Chains A and B, each alone.
Chain A
Amino acid sequence: MQGAMPESVETRAKMLEQWTTFWRNRFAHEPRSLQAQRREAQDAFAQLGYPLSKNEDWKYTKVHLIAETSWKLAPLAPAPAEPNWPAIRVLLVNGRFVGRVVHSPWHDKISIWNWQDAFQEQLDLLEQHWNRMARWRQHPFAALNTACFQDAVIIRVFPNQEIEAPIHILIHHDANSAEPQACFPRILVCLESGSKATLVETYTGGGRHCFTCGVVELLLERGAHLDYYKVQQEHEQTVHIVQAYARLAAEAALRTHIVSLGGGLVRNECDVSLVGQHGNCTLNGLYLARGRQHVDNHTEIDHVAPACTSYELYKGILTDHAHGVFHGKIYVHPGAQKTDAKQTNQALLLSDEAEVDSKPQLEIYADDVRCTHGATVGQLDNQQLFYLRTRGISMEQARSLLIYAFAEDIISRIQVDPVRFQLEDILLAEEGLPLESDLRKVHLP
């Protein structure tokens, strides 16, 4: 990988030319207020440029390849097959909302719109919440998404409603064209006060020369609860840069589980603002990287209000020449007394060439707080290996079991059974271990 290359004038000019031809006259049908935001985002992106040099937030993740590629908008594409587990399911294919949502038993609890329906029927909602959490003024890829997105999923859960079925957004990048293509998934979820929901995003498809550039905004009003899952299984050469922004009002609770299996250059961002008292967020992350995969998890937790908690646990398993990055910022504002923040980051390095960079960054401007962070990088435990082997389990299988166990720590926290089972099976298969499916059927007290 190249070192920090100073951004050349040509690169910037080329990049702008590429995107401005794309923007011209494209969004004329949108309401003025939203168009204005698009234009601002275009300007922001033009100003910011790609984060090529000296940007601390991009120190370990180089995006020259993105900057040097001429991206075309990913064309319309057919919907992929849907999984058969029950969910309120939405398909976003190459950034476009496909088909209709079928969720009749819940229609009085939840509404789901595509972009056009939303700005025709719910302009108030959009004017209030749209693009409010994303930091597109500072973040080039959030700006790019805001300027370019074609369609969106907008979800509103009504006050005090609990949606038992998981809401599944299947985000598929269909790689049909031979040219480099980009798609811009965009999601807004508003959980109104006291409501409760589970959101599962799965990212599939992609390929060589595919760029998935997404933004997700999660608004949790007072006392709302959200379980958020992101499972990324794109083709191993896909560029995947997706920011999730959450804002939690008082007593709201967010749990995120960000699992990366695929992608070539992957950046998962998770920004949480705790703006009301007694909010709490738990961020779990797991990534498996091999070959030349580069997986960057970037988290920022803003403790604005007092008495909030944030717990982060990210784990990575790296082999071959893979590169992992964890950058965890915690910012405790002056008024945020009684903050309780804990950040843990663990990596399992299974080859000499694999590498991980870990950067905790705590900025604390209140005195009565508890903030801890810890990072470990290690190999498999010899005592555990020996124990398994003394029971007749081969060295190879013992290693596999321990790798599986390391990941299971995160996977076991997934409460949506089909998602957990699928991930367990993927992991077992990857490690050449017998599947657990028959043991699962056995009923134990």
Chain B
Amino acid sequence: MEPMLEIRDLHVQVEGKEILKGVNLVLPVGQVHAIMGPNGSGKSTLAAVIAGREEYEVTRGDILYRGKSLLELEPEERAREGIFLAFQYPVEIPGVTNMYFLRAAVNAIRKHRGLPELDALDFLQLVREKLSLLHMDESLLKRSINEGFSGGEKKRNEILQMAVLEPCLCIMDETDSGLDIDALRVVADGVNSLRAPDRSILVITHYQRLLNYIIPDQVHVLLDGRIVRSGSRELALELESRGYGWLEQEVAASKL
């Protein structure tokens, strides 16, 4: 079977500076992979490029989603095809309620899938179900998108959207940062409930703790724009205890 996501020798520049320098990665259908790496190594850049952020210029390589290149698709087309990015820093949009936004999103995606649009009641039923899954308060629906949300509420709101939109490929960019221990548990449970044989998840994180809850099939290390090591979940434990220094040295040594 074709992998959900295949990244081939991906080079990406922003404002003339190369940030991704040849990333290779294969995420099979139904699997969960984690990406770890120091600050500034390019994790969010990679996530944003998959989602279609235009400021990032792909200078070489390709991103294949279910065997087809994504590069020519607009962000909204990628979303409708089933790609979802949970942002590291969710954007605040004062003036648009969460409810209005979520329904517009669900209906855009349903329309693309040839399904009828949801009316207010059906929509509310769907959202209520997902809200309780994430232990979120209904009042958040009436508020503007992420405006005045606490850090943790913003992260939960990302997962709420993910749960409502039911994507095939979920990319979670540091969803665990800023969550307290209980919230982490709730969010992880929410994500686990989304695990399915036809869904793949890419988890970007700094902490192995999240991976105790969302157990990955593989862990990759991104260092200075390249995946320098891939391994089982034990790799995350090793990084947690030893940091990235040893890996950096090994990479430097192997280049000599």
Q: Pick the contact of B95 from A392, A408, A445 — CB < 8 Å? A: A408
Output the least CB separation between A78 and chain B (Å): 39
Known contacts A408-B95, A409-B94, A439-B99; is-contact A387 B87 (Cβ 8 Å)? yes
Query: Closest B-chain residue to A405, C-beta based?
Result: B95
Q: Is A107 an interface residue (CB 8 A)?
A: no
Q: Pick the contact of B76 from A393, A406, A409, A444 — CB < 8 Å? A: A393
By size class, the interface of chain B is 35 or more
A439 to B51, CA, bound (A): 29
Q: Is B23 an interface residue (CB 8 A)?
A: no
Tell me whether B101 and A392 are in contact (CB under 8 A). no
Known contacts A405-B93, A434-B104, A445-B139; is-contact A392 B74 (Cβ 8 Å)? no
Query: Closest A-chain residue to B79, C-beta based?
Result: A392
Query: Interface of chain B, helix or strand or loop or mixed?
Result: helix
Q: Is A338 an interface residue (CB 8 A)?
A: no
Q: Pick the contact of B80 from A383, A392, A412 — CB < 8 Å? A: A392
Tell me whether A408 and B103 are in contact (CB under 8 A). no
- The total of chain A residues at the interface (CB under 8 A) is 33
Tell me whether B52 and A404 are in contact (CB under 8 A). no
Output the least CB separation between A370 and chain B (Å): 25
Tell me whether A390 and B95 are in contact (CB under 8 A). no
Q: Pick the contact of B74 from A395, A397, A402, A442 — CB < 8 Å? A: A395
Residues of A near B79 (CB, < 8 A) are: 389-392
Q: Is A386 an interface residue (CB 8 A)?
A: yes
A351 to B139, CA, bound (A): 37
Task: Fill in one digit per residue for B59-79: 1 if any A CB lies within 8 Å of its CB, else 0.
Answer: 000000000000000111011
Q: Is A32 an interface residue (CB 8 A)?
A: no
Output the least CB separation between A412 and chain B (Å): 7
Looking at the complex, which of B33-41, B119-127, B208-216, B221-229 is the stretch in contact with chain A? B119-127
Looking at the complex, which of B105-113, B178-186, B230-238, B245-253 is the stretch in contact with chain A? B105-113
Q: Is B135 an interface residue (CB 8 A)?
A: no
Tell me whether A405 and B94 are in contact (CB under 8 A). yes
Query: Closest A-chain residue to B106, C-beta based?
Result: A392
Output the least CB separation between A378 and chain B (Å): 14
Tell me whether A390 and B84 are in contact (CB under 8 A). yes
Tell me whether B120 and A391 are in contact (CB under 8 A). no
Q: Pick the contact of B96 from A405, A444, A445 — CB < 8 Å? A: A405
Task: Fill in one digit per residue for A383-420: 1 if any B CB lies within 8 Å of its CB, else 0.
Answer: 11011111111110110011011111100100000000
Task: Fill in one digit per residue for A349-387: 1 if any B CB lies within 8 Å of its CB, else 0.
Answer: 000000000000000000000000000000000111011
Tell me whether A392 and B51 are in contact (CB under 8 A). no
A407 to B52, CA, bound (A): 28
Known contacts A391-B79, A392-B112; is-contact A442 B95 (Cβ 8 Å)? no
Q: Is A117 an interface residue (CB 8 A)?
A: no
A390 to B53, CA, bound (A): 9
A405 to B161, CA, bound (A): 20
Interface centre among A388, A394, A397, A442 (most CB of B within 10 A): A388
Q: Pick the contact of B53 from A386, A406, A436 — CB < 8 Å? A: A386
Tell me whether B108 and A397 are in contact (CB under 8 A). yes
Output the least CB separation between B68 and chain A (Å): 18
Tell me whether A404 and B96 are in contact (CB under 8 A). yes
Output the least CB separation between B87 and chain A (Å): 7
Output the least CB separation between B104 and chain A (Å): 6
Tell me whether A388 and B93 are in contact (CB under 8 A). yes
Q: Is B138 an interface residue (CB 8 A)?
A: yes
Query: Closest A-chain residue to B87, C-beta based?
Result: A387
- B110-149 contacts to A, CB under 8 A, are 112, 119-121, 124, 138-139, 141-142, 144
* 19 A/B residue pairs, CB under 8 Å, sorted by A: A387-B87, A387-B93, A388-B93, A389-B76, A390-B78, A390-B79, A392-B76, A392-B108, A393-B101, A393-B104, A393-B108, A395-B76, A404-B95, A404-B96, A408-B95, A434-B103, A438-B120, A442-B120, A444-B142
Q: Name B's A-contacting residues (CB within 8 A).
A: 51-55, 74-76, 78-80, 84-85, 87, 90-91, 93-97, 99-101, 103-105, 107-109, 112, 119-121, 124, 138-139, 141-142, 144, 161, 165
The 5 closest A-B pairs by CB, nearest first: A405-B95, A408-B95, A391-B105, A392-B79, A389-B75
Q: Apart from A383-B91, A391-B104, what are 9 other A-B pairs with CB-CB below 8 Å?
A: A390-B75, A391-B105, A393-B105, A393-B108, A405-B93, A434-B103, A434-B104, A444-B138, A444-B139
Q: Name A's B-contacting residues (CB within 8 A).
A: 382-384, 386-395, 397-398, 401-402, 404-409, 412, 433-434, 436, 438-439, 441-442, 444-445
